[in-house]
Chains A and B, each alone.
Chain A
Amino acid sequence: MTSKTSPMRDWIFFVVFAIAVLTMPIWLAPIGAGYPDLLQKFMIYGLFATGFNLLFGLTGYLSFGHAAFLGVGSYSAVWTFKLLGMNPVPAAIVAVITSGIFALLIGYVSLRRSGIYFSILTLAFAQMSYNLAYSVLTPITNGETGLRVLRTDPRLFDSSNAVDGPLIANLFGIEMTGYAGFYFCAIVLLIAFFIAQRIFRSPFGIMLRAVKTNQNRMNYTGLNPRPYTLAAFVISGMYAGLAGALLCITDPLAGAERMQWTASGEVVLMTILGGAGTLLGPIFGAALIKYFENIFSAFNDQTLHEIFGFLPDFIEVPVVSVTSLFVGEGWHLTLGVLFMLIVIFLPGGLMEGFSRIGRLFKRSSGKSESRGAAAPAD
């Protein structure tokens, strides 16, 4: 570890992070990302990736089935809405508990193997859950249509005036849409981030890193790694479940496609893109992917002509026709190219890029200490 850590530095880091998150609507507005839905997605997928990173980044176990926990969290949250009422707090708690139990079951079986076998096992479980949700358990999940809250649902603890109100989660009267929803997600993310930071610094976190570094050596010293990895797996599953619940809190609908393998792959991409094993990396990765998905996919020829309008026509037309391949429906292509570039040139993800830039500045100012201001995590 090249960076120094101390409790004081962690606190400063956390406060800076908290301020950055809470002021997002202001500083993300110029790049077109300062609208509530996307900000909510940044928070939620940031949380999802942070949880995934607790498993992958620390223990090195690559789970290809994390979307299953996201889906389980979503369905539990919507069922809590349907049965108990539209308050987000019980929904989040129930989602964390059910996804934790689910993760315990899957983890208990999958963690008997490591490496590629573990990945395939988790993938198989996730696909099973997806197919169950999609076509077998349709009375519980409502299949392809997605599970929604209906007016006819019992919603036991909702007051009588809330029964006629809109079917939106509300925290004691504050509707969880728009910016209120964003701040709710942001506060949940900050709490989760704080816990993740504590885990990174704790003896438990060090044990997890030991699993990643050399499991044999750990065995020889008489330590059984399984309880540690299982604990990490369950915590990670709970994070995913909480993220799933937040998706439903900001938008009360749970669909089976959340559990599809593409969703599991997405969180792996987010984590690797941002930098596995770092605290901030997965959040950056999640934000980058969601930004691409929402902003780049919305570019069409009309917008491109506006952007390149300053060019003379004979240059503008070819430029637009080439760039249009990479935006709109081609946003996956841009993402793929970016992913390749990052994996080839920055194996440590975006965080490695930041710390390299940070080091450049340090060197030019005559200090030998290498410590990226944004990356004290590893």
Chain B
Amino acid sequence: MSLIRKPLNRRSILRAGAMGGAALATPTIFTSGAWSAGYLNEPTGAEVVLGFNVPQTGAYADEGADELRAYQLAVKHLNGEGDGGLLNTFSSKELQGGVNGKKVAYVTGDTQTKSDAARASAKRMIEKDGAVMITGGSSSGVAIAVQSLCQEAGVIFMAGLTHSNDTTGKDKRKNGFRHFFNTEMSGAALAPVLKNNYGTDRKAYHLTADYTWGWSQEESIKKYTEGMGWETTAAVRTPLGAGDFSQYITPVLNSGADVLVLNHYGKDMVNSLTQAVQFGLRDKQVNGKDFVIIVPLYSRLMAQGAGENVKGIFGSTNWHWSLQDEGSKAFVKSFGQEYGFPPSQAAHTCYVQALLYADAAQRAGTFDPCAIAAALEGFEFDGMGNGPTLYRADDHQCFKDVLVVKGKENPTSQFDLLEVVEVTPRSQVEYPADMLGGELGTCNNGA
């Protein structure tokens, strides 16, 4: 290389100059003001900034758009505008316009349903916009990635739509909280309904989205169905976003199975279910029984996508707009007034998470992540549409009733696609905190 051939005098001066420049520039990072506060991004002005990190492009964009609508509505209600929504029915009455005397402001970002992009976007919110809390996500992979980022950075993460056991199981974090239910609860709630409808002598074939959520759901559904006597013929992993599932569906017919469990979500579920129905699976008789399909995690947005095909298919959901308790009615009313259609379960969980965070901050009297975490841990509340709910301290998972739903045979509108078959009480879906493994670790406030 030329470095060796030439005399060294001029070069060494230049090199020393460059390195000196680097050395001079480095110390400024240690004197910057960001690290002198009591905790990371302590709000000093009249506003507190929350970060809404949702998928705006990609496969889960529909869910993301609905989540963002819910967050904007939540900010409105927190600042004392609009009709107040769930604040009127929420059992805690601490919030009275603003949080800790500050106006709530927000920044938004696009996760693109990719861990990388989601983390970059969350980092921007923390480093540039000074967000004290990040919330959102519509994929367990993304939620887990962002949750660990928030833990390392020292802000609170309020998970949005994430259903994998791992989010509050083996990947749980002290700074992360989840209101949404998980696959364990889905399994526990679905099993008795399936038993009543389809009996105890069934052979199940699983098609599973090949990532953390799919694995988790497959495991839970297997555990509960096998527990009541079902057999699992096969469990096939399919790549996320495959589009065409015909090559995975054809073997189902020859496997001798009489139940197909679709561990798919979003567009994947719409595609695989539609194709399974088109292949005539539901008209078949196997082992002297009608062939049935089960979609363990349902959402109204997916049902809308799959149309006719969802009729009579069982699944579970976190919340549904047709619930008749005061909280659900209040939320559907104010969401409907604002946007002209009923909210999805994704919107509901995100709205509730935003309110729960604000309430915890108000009760703690500060935005310090550790104080807020302490205020959320073991918090019992009601009036949010799911009945009495507990934020369990041991794993930061909410425990509440789970809905078992079925595709409606005679829908009355384009939103009225699911009917609630059973509200499984909270006691039936509870499990010991150490069952799913993982360590919460210690709280990090970024100071």
Contacts and interface: CB of A to CB of B under 8 A. Distances in A.
Interface of A: 7, 11, 14-15, 18-19, 22-23, 25, 32, 35-38, 41, 131, 134-135, 138, 143-146, 148, 151, 166-168, 177-180, 183, 186-187, 190, 198, 202, 247, 251, 253, 255, 257-258, 293-294, 297-298, 300, 302, 328-329, 332
B163 interface: no
B62 to A, nearest CB: 12
B110 A257 contact: no
A297 B118 CA distance: 12
B447 to A, nearest CB: 13
A146 B120 contact: no
Interface in B138-172: 140-141, 144-145, 148-149, 152
B274 interface: no
A146 B145 contact: yes
B127 to A, nearest CB: 4
Interface in B27-70: 28-29, 32, 56-57, 61
Nearest to B64: A329
A190 B18 contact: yes
B124 interface: yes
Given A32-B128, A145-B141, A247-B116, 20 more contacts: A11-B11, A22-B22, A25-B25, A35-B128, A41-B120, A131-B239, A135-B210, A135-B237, A144-B141, A145-B144, A148-B145, A178-B127, A179-B29, A183-B29, A198-B1, A255-B114, A298-B110, A298-B121, A298-B124, A329-B57
10 nearest A-B pairs in the assembled complex, by CB-CB distance: A144-B211, A179-B29, A37-B123, A35-B128, A329-B56, A35-B127, A145-B212, A255-B115, A257-B114, A145-B141
Given A144-B212, A253-B115, A257-B114, A18 B26 contact: no
A143 B211 contact: yes
Contacts of B28: 25, 179
Given A143-B211, A167-B152, A183 B57 contact: no
Contacts of B240: 134, 144
Contacts of B26: 179, 183
Contact of A151 (B6, B210, B439): B439
Interface in B83-137: 106-110, 114-117, 119-121, 123-124, 127-129
Contacts of B10: 11
Interface residues of B, number: 50
Given A151-B439, A251-B119, A253-B119, A23 B127 contact: no
B197 interface: no
Nearest to B113: A257
Contacts of A151: 439
B14 interface: yes
A32 B18 CA distance: 26
A186 B212 CA distance: 35
8 contacts: A11-B14, A18-B18, A18-B21, A145-B115, A168-B152, A202-B2, A253-B148, A255-B115
A183 B22 contact: yes
Contacts of B11: 11
Contacts of B56: 297, 328-329
Given A15-B17, A143-B210, A328 B108 contact: yes
Contact of B124 (A19, A23, A37, A186): A37
Interface of B: 1-2, 6, 10-11, 14, 17-18, 21-22, 25-26, 28-29, 32, 56-57, 61, 106-110, 114-117, 119-121, 123-124, 127-129, 140-141, 144-145, 148-149, 152, 210-212, 237, 239-240, 439, 444
A15 B141 contact: no
B124 A294 contact: yes
B9 to A, nearest CB: 12
Contacts of A177: 152
B72 to A, nearest CB: 9
B152 A257 contact: no
Most buried by B among A32, A166, A302, A329: A329
> Chain A: interface secondary structure?
helix
A186 B23 CA distance: 12
Nearest to A257: B114
Given A146-B141, A251-B149, A138 B210 contact: yes
A25 B22 CA distance: 12
Nearest to A186: B22
B115 A298 contact: no
A138 B141 CA distance: 14
A90 B64 CA distance: 39
Most buried by A among B26, B106, B108, B444: B108
A37 B120 contact: yes
B301 to A, nearest CB: 17
A144 B210 contact: yes
A181 B240 CA distance: 33
Given A37-B120, A146-B145, A180 B29 contact: yes
Contacts of B149: 251
A198 B6 CA distance: 13
